Amino acid sequence: MVSVAFSDKYFDSLLKLTPNEQSQANKAVMLFQQDPQHGGLHYEKLTAFKDSKLRSIRANQDVRIILAAAEKEDLYLMLYVAHHEPAYAWAAKRKVEINPNTGSLQVFTVEERREEAAPAPSSAPELPGLFDTIRDRQLLQLGVPEEALGLVRSMRIEADLETAHLNEQIPADAYEGLFMLMAGASFEEAYGEVVPAAPEAVDTDDFGSALARPESRAHFTVAENEEALQAVLNQSLEKWRVFLHPAQRRLAEGTKNGPVRVLGGAGTGKTVVAMHRAKWLAEQVAGSSTPGQEQKVLFTTFTRNLAADIKQNLHKICSSQALERIDVMNLDAWVVSFLKKQGYDYGLLMDAQQQKRLWEEAYSEKPAAIDLGLAFFQEEWARVIQPQSIGSLDDYKKASRIGRGTRLNRQQRVEIWPVFERFRHILASNYLKETDDAYRDARQLLETNPELRPNLCSVIVDEAQDMGSQAFMLLRALVPPGPNDLFIVGDGHQRIYGKNKVVLGQCGIDIRGRSARLKVNYRTTDETRKLAVSILEGVEVDDLDGGQDSQQFYHSLMHGPVPEVRCFDSLDEQAQAILEAMQGNGLAPEACCVIARTRREVGELKAALESRQQPCHQLDGRSAATPDGELNLATMHRVKGLEFDAVFVASVNRGLVPLAPVIQSAADAVTRRQRENEERALLYVSLTRARKLAFVYGYGQMSEWF
Ligand X SMILES: Nc1ncnc2c1ncn2[C@@H]1O[C@H](COP(=O)(O)OP(=O)(O)OP(=O)(O)O)[C@@H](O)[C@H]1O
Binding residues for ATP: 264-271
User: Helix or strand or coil: residue 308?
Assistant: helix
Between 63 and 461, whose beta carbon lies closer to ligand X? Answer: 461
Please give the angle made by the CA atoms of 398, 404 and 410, to the nearest 5 degrees: 35
Q: Which of 523, 606, 617, 637 binds ligand X (CB under 6 A)?
A: 523
x/- binding map, residues 372-411, to ligand X, per CB under 6 A? Answer: ----------------------------------------
Whether cis (ω within 30° of 0) applies to the bond prior to 658 is: yes
- Per CB under 6 A, 634 contacts ligand X: no
The C-alpha atoms of residue 325 and residue 327 are separated, in whole angstroms, by 7
Window 465-494: residues binding ligand X (CB under 6 A): 491, 494
Q: Considering the complex, what minimum distance in angstroms separates the CB of residue 684 from ligand X?
A: 9
Residue 58 near residue 40 (C-beta atoms within 8 A): yes
**Terminal C-alpha separation, the chain:** 61
Torsion angle in degrees (nearest 10) through CA of 274, 276, 282, 288: -120
Q: How many helices (H) and strands (E) does the chain have?
A: 27, 26
Q: Which of 643, 645, 668, 676 binds ligand X (CB under 6 A)?
A: 643
Contact segment (CB under 6 A) with ligand X among 23-31, 55-63, 234-242, 353-361 equals 234-242
Shortest Cβ contact with ligand X: which residue?
269
In three-state form (DSSP H/G/I as H, E/B as E, the rest C), the secondary structure along 411-445 is HHHHHHHHHHHHHHHHHHHCCEECHHHHHHHHHHH
Residue 575 near residue 605 (C-beta atoms within 8 A): yes
The C-alpha atoms of residue 54 and residue 96 are separated, in whole angstroms, by 8
Window 270-329: residues binding ligand X (CB under 6 A): 270-272
Between 244 and 446, whose beta carbon lies closer to ligand X? Answer: 244
User: Helix or strand or coil: residue 106?
Assistant: strand
Between 244 and 477, whose beta carbon lies closer to ligand X? Answer: 244
Window 492-521: residues binding ligand X (CB under 6 A): 494
| Amino acid in the structure at residue 239 | K
Q: Considering the complex, what minimum distance in angstroms separates the CB of residue 74 from ligand X?
A: 28
Q: Considering the complex, what minimum distance in angstroms separates the CB of residue 306 from ligand X?
A: 8
Between 248 and 295, whose beta carbon lies closer to ligand X? Answer: 248
Between 143 and 264, whose beta carbon lies closer to ligand X? Answer: 264
Q: Considering the complex, what minimum distance in angstroms separates the CB of residue 478 from ligand X?
A: 22
Between 458 and 521, whose beta carbon lies closer to ligand X? Answer: 521
Q: Considering the complex, what minimum distance in angstroms separates the CB of residue 516 from ligand X?
A: 12
**311 CB-contact burial (10 Å; exposed 0-12 / middle 13-18 / buried 19+):** middle
Number of Cβ atoms within 10 Å of the Cβ of 632 = 23
Contact segment (CB under 6 A) with ligand X among 62-70, 209-217, 238-246, 441-449 equals 238-246
Window 412-441: residues binding ligand X (CB under 6 A): none
* DSSP letter string, 572-635: HHHHHHHHHHHHHTT--GGGEEEEESSHHHHHHHHHHHHTTT--EEE--SSPPPPPTTPEEEEE
Between 33 and 268, whose beta carbon lies closer to ligand X? Answer: 268
Q: Considering the complex, what minimum distance in angstroms separates the CB of residue 270 from ligand X?
A: 3
Q: Considering the complex, what minimum distance in angstroms separates the CB of residue 154 from ligand X?
A: 30
Residue 335 near residue 442 (C-beta atoms within 8 A): yes
Q: Which of 24, 101, 248, 484 binds ligand X (CB under 6 A)?
A: 248
The C-alpha atoms of residue 45 and residue 459 are separated, in whole angstroms, by 51
Q: Site size for ligand X, by CB under 6 A?
A: 22
Residue 135 near residue 152 (C-beta atoms within 8 A): no
- Per CB under 6 A, 264 contacts ligand X: yes
Residues 6+ apart with CB under 8 A from 388: 395, 399, 400
Q: Considering the complex, what minimum distance in angstroms separates the CB of residue 316 from ligand X?
A: 10
Task: Encode burial over 226-253: b for 16+ CB neighbours within 10 A, e otherwise.
Answer: eeebeebbeebeeebbbbbbbbbbebbb
Q: Which of 43, 131, 243, 377 binds ligand X (CB under 6 A)?
A: 243
Q: Which of 141, 525, 674, 688 binds ligand X (CB under 6 A)?
A: 688
- Per CB under 6 A, 522 contacts ligand X: yes
Contacting positions for ligand X (CB under 6 A): 238-240, 243-245, 248, 264, 266-272, 491, 494, 522-523, 641, 643, 688
